[in-house]
A and B are shown apart, each in its own frame.
Chain A
Amino acid sequence: MVKFKIDNKVVEAKEGEYLLDVARRYGFSIPTLCHHEALGSDGRCRVCVVEVKTRWRKRIVTSCLFPVSKDIEEVYTASEDVKLVRRTVLELLLARCPESDVIRYMAAKYGITEPRYKKDTDKGKCILCNMCVRTCENIVGVSAIGIIGKGPEKKISPPFREASDACIGCGACVAVCPTGHIFMEDKDGIRLIWRKRFELAVCPKCGRYHAPVEQLEFISKKTNVPMEELLVCTNCR
């Protein structure tokens, strides 16, 4: 165990543990936009930055990825530099996604109500946190979507911007998206997502549409649970 201070409060942590987890355990509030406990960290959004003082230097790090070590002396979660980075990131994201309530709310906390930049009109609410891609790859295990392009024009998309054979229409990407950017619509027994149409299965007991047939087939194949069982919705099982 290692002892150091966060904003003047003595904390204890295991070596190798991430600063974000330690700080949150001790009740410090650190915002995140690309971190999820099921997915781990990616270091994309940069709003979780904190300032770390070690024996040698003081520097800004992303708390989600910075491992605790014996060298840490003190951590500051609200220093001037920390606030500058967070405020800047949120202002930039607000200019990118002016429609996003989540970003608007977080930006307001740092005093930003209107960005000083020309607002983007073509990015929707996507902040490129990559959580949908990581969920699809690491949790669902199908890798139906990925990042295409680079720089400001980076986008999340199925390959070649076409309906993907790999997508099972599970909607896990929608569930994990922090800003509600990903479009999914269930209507008349059909689910539309990522340019692909899915037939929804009807629960034989209650008669409601509950999941794409393709998703149930995928689960059946993976778990060897027969389709008949899976066709029954989770409420009626």
Chain B
Amino acid sequence: MSVSIQRLEEIKKDFLSKQKVFQKTIRVCCGTGCISSGALKVLEKLRTALKTEGLDEKVKVIETGCHGFCERGPIFVFGENDIFYQMVGKRNIDADVSALIETVKSDKIAQNLLYPDPNDKTKKFVATREIPFYSGQQKIVLHLNGYIDPESIEDYIARGGYVALHKALQMKPEEVIDWIDRSGLRGRGGGGFRTGRKWRSCREAHGSPKYIVANGDEGDPGAFMDRSIMEGNPHAILEGMIIGGYAIGSNDGYIYVRDEYPLAVKRLTKAIEDARRLGLLGDNIFGTGFRFDIRIFRGGGAFVCGESTALMQSLEGKIGEPKAKYIHTVERGLWDKPTNLNNVETWACVPLIINNGWEWFANIGTKNSTGTKVFSLVGKVNNTGLIEVPMGLTLREIIFNLGGGIQKGRKFKAVQTGGPSGGCIPAEYLDTPVDFDTLTELGSMMGSGGMIVMDERNCMVDVARYFLNFLVEESCGKCVPCREGVKRMYEIVDRICNGEGREGDIEHLEELGKAVKLGSLCGLGQSAPNPVLSTIRYFREEYEEHIKHKKCRAGVCKPLITIKINEKCNGCMVCARNCPVSCISGEKQKPHVIDQSKCIKCQICYDVCRFDAVTIE
């Protein structure tokens, strides 16, 4: 028997009536970040305590996907009054669980679990919506993340899930494509290609069968956008894919997930099984005769497999090496058949566009970059985590309003966007609205949405070296410019960091970088020089200082720095006690001295000194 819209309505009613017995709900973030901060341990204790108090039948505890504010995990949010508890169980797990029980019983707010304003320690926020990290966001893709139980299809349906699929199946396939096109949706995985246009090319391509692929091979260091969607709301991806399959004329979908994301694999597997059980996947969906099914393919974790052609090679069981895209994958992709690949975040946008109309989506964001974008905001900001903002918000708004500014009140230096092969954008462009085109103009890119904030203690040459090292490791090695060229770029930058930079190195890097960009086979190689080229473009003087004056102003490149103790030293001995190689000597209450021959430049003395007596030169 095929599924019907009435059946969805029944499931919704049934689910909601079951919720009525609960007087309270606690939404526990069970995203990977919070799990590693110990959320599951607190959760277990909370469940036991609720049982002991006889409250387990009255309080619903939902294990949700990522709430985004990973810096502050574990996170527990009370459903009705939106009380936001953070770092629960971090200091005293039993006391914190008791505090949770108190809140359940008497709505008493535990002050020590509230989020303090990073700029005013006396101020605390009670409700989620009051916290700037959340209030500055516009969650549409992540609107159910943190609310629903990702392992319950009923919960998804109760919040309007799969209605978009029903609606799309009543439309003509061309009409669905037209909506996606008019919405202005562009690929969220990096390239920013118009999704509607891609779908249309795939629909019009000759050949069958046709395939639908969801790219969940997120590999950027410090990025977890796709992961959070797969773990927090897997049905949104499935629903988008089924709609896509109908529009394009495909009956087979694949989700390519990296195997390093076991929770995502588990939740997607469960979601697919549940969707099959209800007839939302399989034959004759909603009685329309349309058949669609989805399989999961677990990737081995090579960064390059996020590139569409390499991903398809890997899916075919071959070595994950990219192929030339002169003939597009929408014409000849997986097994040489027309294949439409989109990032998981792109797929998750699809049901929203169908439900709310393309005009609604097109009105969010900027003219050429519509909708929202999920970013993982990490690095030297106060509030690290996952955020979703409308396109066109400025970097300043993201970093200083949502991100709460730079840690320890230090000075902002640059933000690296677009993943390892993105670029670094300096302070003078903080007021740039973030969208696909402006980031590219600045020599960086949107990529999948990584945002790494750097402060004055980040050396830009060292930053370039870090990303190059990653790219050398992750280059598949198929084509010469990327395999050999990026390695040589790394060697040069490494030499500069070690104080062995030579006259002409910068020009050499620029020339080699240009050749690698022009000559490489795939997007990885074509963008691999970005970290170097963008840091040279905006921070050339730092390269010159390293090369000519053998100086690292950020105090990062060890061979170029000397750590000294000045006359401010009052002989408190803290530095001497903390020095791991015991190279600091001196008498109590008299200035201390560092033995430069033994110093390993770990900078612990600098960090522990409370009198500004330790300097890095």
Q: Which residue numbers of A lie inside 8 Å of B, CB to CB?
A: 43-46, 49, 60-62, 65-67, 81, 84-85, 87-89, 92-93, 95-96, 116-118, 127-128, 146-147, 149-154
Contact = CB atoms under 8 A, between A and B. Distances in A.
Interface string B43-63: 000000000000000000000
A96 B480 CA distance: 10
Interface stretch (B457-465, B483-491, B555-563, B575-583): B483-491
Contacts of A152: 472, 475, 477, 483-484, 487
Contacts, number: 97
B513 to A, nearest CB: 10
Interface of B: 302, 304, 319, 323-324, 326-327, 472-481, 483-485, 487-488, 491, 508, 511-512, 514-516, 518-521
A105 B54 CA distance: 84
User: A-side binding surface: helix, strand, loop or mixed?
Assistant: mixed
Contacts of A151: 472-477, 483, 487
B180 to A, nearest CB: 23
A30 to B, nearest CB: 14
Contact of B327 (A62, A67, A88, A146): A67
Contacts of A92: 480-481, 484-485, 488
User: B-side binding surface: helix, strand, loop or mixed?
Assistant: helix
A50 to B, nearest CB: 12
Contacts of A81: 518
Contacts of A89: 480-481, 515, 519
Contacts of B515: 84-85, 87-89
B480 to A, nearest CB: 5
Contact of A153 (B324, B477, B478, B491): B477
| In the complex, the 7 A-B pairs of residues with the closest C-beta atoms, listed nearest first | A88-B515, A154-B477, A92-B484, A85-B519, A65-B324, A151-B475, A151-B477
A88 B475 contact: no
Nearest to A87: B515
Contact of A88 (B319, B473, B485): B485
Given A49-B519, A88-B516, A96 B484 contact: yes
Contacts of B512: 88
Contacts of A150: 302, 304, 474-477
A90 to B, nearest CB: 9
B326 A66 contact: yes
26 contacts: A43-B323, A44-B478, A60-B519, A61-B326, A65-B326, A84-B515, A84-B518, A85-B515, A87-B515, A89-B481, A89-B519, A92-B481, A92-B485, A95-B484, A117-B488, A128-B480, A128-B483, A146-B319, A150-B302, A150-B304, A150-B474, A151-B474, A151-B475, A151-B476, A151-B483, A152-B484
A56 B381 CA distance: 42
Given A147-B319, A151-B476, A152-B472, A85 B518 contact: yes
Contacts of B323: 43
Nearest to B512: A88
A49 B514 CA distance: 14
Contacts of A127: 480
Nearest to A118: B491
B477 A43 contact: no
Nearest to B492: A117
Contact of A46 (B302, B474, B521): B521
Q: Which of B323, B326, B327, B512 has the most CB of A within 10 A?
A: B326
A60 B483 contact: no
A46 B476 contact: no
Contact of B477 (A46, A60, A149): A149
Nearest to A154: B477
Contacts of A116: 508
A92 B476 CA distance: 16
A51 B488 CA distance: 25
A79 to B, nearest CB: 11
Nearest to A33: B480
